[in-house]
Amino acid sequence: MSQPSLTVAVAQAEIVVGDLATNIATHLEVIRAARARLVVFPELSLTGYDLDAPSVAPTDAVLRPLIDACRASGAVALVGAPITESGRDFIAMLRVDEHGASVAARKVWVHGGEHQRFSCGTEAAVIDVDGWAVGLAICFDTNVQQHTAQLARRGVDLYAAGVLDGPGEEGERIARTFVTARALRAPVAIAHYRGSTPLFPVTVGTSMIVDADGEMLAQVDDAGMPHASACLSKAD
């Protein structure tokens, strides 16, 4: 049954490259504290943005604490990890809920050094959360009009993305988020990466949720808060 409202949280907790156990503990803290139905995490949030990070399978026992936390909290978490399918690696977004973990999206617009390892996903992904059609994007996907247009044609109720930005990209990200909301006529939830990586010693950005008109509903402030949330109402 479709629900008229959906509480969404966007995470911006510190991510440690190569420390899966610490990152999972951080994810657990956010899921429990957010008290949201849908919790969106940044790109490669489980492993950190390291292009050599080992793949994570949806069936890995290491994800069991996340599944248990989602069951206890009634949450659906969208977490970032590299995966391997049929001998090919992808930058993926995993859906974790009370039923387990599954691949929700594969990054379509792989770019830069990512091409050395990762294959491109084939199309923009949409999942169902309580009757809401949630369009998914991973970082550079958000830059590509073709990707957004695919989601627009499918009539999404919410756009959710996990991203990583470097210094100087904040203004462009905010502007693009507003434009995407207006183009899709749907709210947009962006979860930004926080933490140093081999390719990005400094990461910047503000995790945010805007409404369908591009008006800011919630954002992570500068005090180190790990998430922000908003209760969204489905458009008629």
pLDDT in tens, 89-148: 999 999 999 999 999 999 999 999 999 999 999 999 999 999 999 999 999 999 999 999
Condensed to tens digits (0 to 9), the pLDDT of residues 142-190 reads 999 999 999 999 999 999 999 999 888 777 888 899 999 999 999 999 9
Nearest to 177 by CA among 149, 151, 215, 204: 215
If residue 140 lies in a helix (H) or strand (E), which one and from where to where?
none
Q: How many CB atoms lie within 10 A of CB 5?
A: 12
Q: What pTM does this model have?
A: 0.96
Looking at domain 5-233, which of 3.30.43.10, 3.60.110.10, 3.30.70.141, 3.40.630.10 is its CATH number?
3.60.110.10
**Res. 228 pLDDT band, cuts 50 70 90:** very high
pLDDT of residue 121: 97
What per-residue confidence (pLDDT) applies to 169?
79
pLDDT band per the 50, 70, 90 thresholds, residue 229: very high
**Cα separation, 135 vs 122, whole angstroms:** 14
Sorting pLDDT into bands at 50, 70 and 90, what band is 223?
low
> Would the pLDDT of 236 be above 60?
no
Please report the pLDDT score of residue 166 as a whole number: 86
Per residue in 52-90, pLDDT (tens digit) is 999 999 999 999 999 999 999 999 999 999 999 999 999
So what's the pLDDT on residue 222? 64
Residue-range domain boundaries for the chain: 5-233
| Mean pLDDT calculated for residue range 8-30 | 96
Tell me how many degrees the CA angle 3-121-193 measures, rounded to the nearest 5: 70
Are the C-beta atoms of residues 57 and 89 closer than 8 Å to each other? no
What pLDDT is recorded for position 1?
A: 63
Cα angle 128, 129, 134 (rounded to 5 degrees) comes to 60
Q: Write down the pLDDT at residue 69.
A: 98
CB atoms within 10 A of CB 35: 14
225/44 Cα distance (integer angstroms): 20
Sheet strands (E) in 24-138: 38-40, 76-85, 88-97, 100-106, 125-129, 132-138
